[in-house]
Chains A and B, each alone.
Chain A
Amino acid sequence: MTILRKLALGASMIALCCTAANAADRTVGFSQIGSESGWRAAETSVTKQEAEKRGITLKFADAQQKQENQIKAIRGFIAQGVDAILVAPVVATGWEQVLGEAKDAKIPVILLDRGIDAPQDLYLTSVASDQVKEGRVAGEWLVKTVGDKPCRVVELQGTVGSTPAINRKKGFEEAIAGHKNISIVRSQTGDFTRSKGKEVMEGFLKAENGGKDVCAMYAHNDDMAVGGIQAIKDAGLKPGKDILVVSIDAVPDIFQAMAAGEANATVELTPNMAGPAFDALDAYLKSGKQPEKFIITQSKLYTPADDPKGEYERRKGLGY
């Protein structure tokens, strides 16, 4: 008995000394939604990179779009006694029970990329982008670029009714409000895909005097913009010159288009949600400092002046 107790004491002492000696030597569980899009794949690989950079052992669980898998993964992390849990929640509801269990086990939980409908004391913080701001940054770029010249804009919306489509539309409209020379003359959904983006843009160009009346194309994501750029080229116009192209996400292919002079601006939806999350976690575990409840990632604007070739090279291996 005494031997056992001594052993246990020794083990806990060792554990204590090591945590004290190297705060970065942590284990963090990450429950990812799945890999439904290129951006999500990039988020996963960036999270792994960020963890490695900080010497954090990352336990990764892919939920394959199912909440029950995420709940199972979180329970698994709790049982393994990880130091913190990152969750990219697949849905907004139904998290109270399992996050309560994590709280009882004193394991901080950080939400990535999406919010949830649950009491705020159940998680340490949430890291996400501001989609309205993304739209606004795109709109402000256009306002600055065209100046006082009249500009008829066509908009390729995301999937009808989806949160990013609603927010990115709202932000853009906020930015161009009060500038009477800029107006959205056509707006249709391209379902966030290249092929629909191309098809919708083809229709727009025909309806707008073969595209001669269009001054700019605003796409809610880069994929639709890439499709739209092809449609503009097919119509015999020069994307980036005859028609300005601004979109959101900053995926590698838009930088390729930018390097070729066919796209003018993109607003980054950073896949690096984990970096700020790890920083907040570090501060919290070291000094008990409560981070802000909502950490908003930067919505950075990229233009051809920002070395599109280099950006393409930097991103293409991330799994977009």
Chain B
Amino acid sequence: MKRLHLSDIARPQLLALACILLLNWLVFPGFFTVTWQDGRLFGSLIDVINRGAPVAILAVGMTAIIATRGVDLSVGAVMAVAGAVAATAAVVGQPLIVTLLGALLVGLACGLWNGALVAFLGMQPFVATLVLMVAGRGLAQLITEGSIVTFSDPALIFVGTGSLLGLPMPAVIALVLMIAAHLVMRRTAMGLFVEAIGTNRSAASYTGLRTRTVILTLYAFGGLCAALAGVIAAADIRGADANNAGLWLELDAILAVVIGGTSLMGGRFSIPMSVLGAVIIQAMNTGILVSGLPPEFNLIVKASVIILILVMQSDRIGELVSRRFARLKLRGKS
């Protein structure tokens, strides 16, 4: 297999992000203005990384799952469950360590459940995780008893709205998680295992790889990421909204992974690129908000931009462009 350089993979996504940011700047000249206010950075760019953080965190967990030809549709619902657990724990006065641990453990349990269905019962990931996607929201509603549970624990709220070195806390968490996950994937054999399973699971088994354990671990990590995103989402609005927290975010997370260039057919993946994908999606969302466009156009604009990005990434188009360039170069030389 040809070894890909980072610059080879990154080009279309970075170009897309630059184009979207430029467009945002054209419709709203103050887009790049970042000021210092109340001890933290303030501006549309900061909004992009702050609002993009939950999807970025989901995408970190989703990337490795998709790289094994799997998918986790339940992450949005797991967000709601984790948020509900954190909020109810905070309401009864538990300290941050308990609320956080409780929420993360519940997320981990959800991930293990998904992983067990996929790895040990051999269920299709789509169906296996669909179960929790539906049931999870019901579970969250059960915990919150159908209402929005609001809390005022400053430590928990800090997780969603605080800032570290001027950067919003959610973005800091996403960044740390991304780097940690990337290091585990690329500095240990884990990444290789994931790619082997995604390319050919039975071949990977025959080489002696414990594919079931690896898959179980990846789904468990996905659940953990979803729980973290859920805590952030709840802390952001100081309440757990079981009906709406994380609603449809599984689709955004999958989209972020796909924009990042990870193949749905398994094998090839990059966690930082998925996070970049999440930032691209959010740059688009924030751009629409500051542009003053009527809301009826939101989905059309998003769809068009996404189609453009995916076309730019397609191998065929890439080949065509590079062939055209090669011909131009030849002509220039002769």
Q: What residues make up the interface of A, taking CB atoms closer than 8 Å to B?
A: 35-38, 41, 157, 160, 186-189, 191-196, 198-200, 202-204, 206-207, 223, 226-227, 230, 234-236, 253, 319-320
Contacts and interface: CB of A to CB of B under 8 A. Distances in A.
Contacts of A194: 148, 237, 239, 241, 244
A191 B246 CA distance: 13
B147 interface: yes
Given A160-B298, A195-B241, A230-B238, A204 B289 contact: yes
Contacts of B236: 195, 198
A276 B120 CA distance: 57
Contact of A206 (B30, B146, B147): B30
B51 to A, nearest CB: 6
A195 B244 contact: yes
Given A187-B294, A206-B47, A319-B145, 13 more contacts: A186-B292, A188-B288, A188-B295, A193-B247, A195-B233, A203-B47, A203-B289, A206-B43, A206-B290, A207-B289, A253-B239, A319-B146, A320-B148
A35 B43 CA distance: 38
Contacts of B47: 199, 202-203, 206
Contacts of B217: none
A110 B236 CA distance: 41
Nearest to B285: A199
A43 to B, nearest CB: 12
Interface residues on B, range: 35 or more
A194 B37 CA distance: 24
A203 B245 contact: no
Nearest to B286: A203
Nearest to A192: B244
B68 interface: no
B42 interface: yes
Per CB-CB distance, the 7 closest pairs between chain A and chain B, nearest first, are A203-B289, A189-B295, A207-B290, A193-B244, A194-B237, A38-B147, A35-B146
A200 B146 contact: no
Contact of B147 (A157, A160, A236, A319): A319
B94 to A, nearest CB: 21
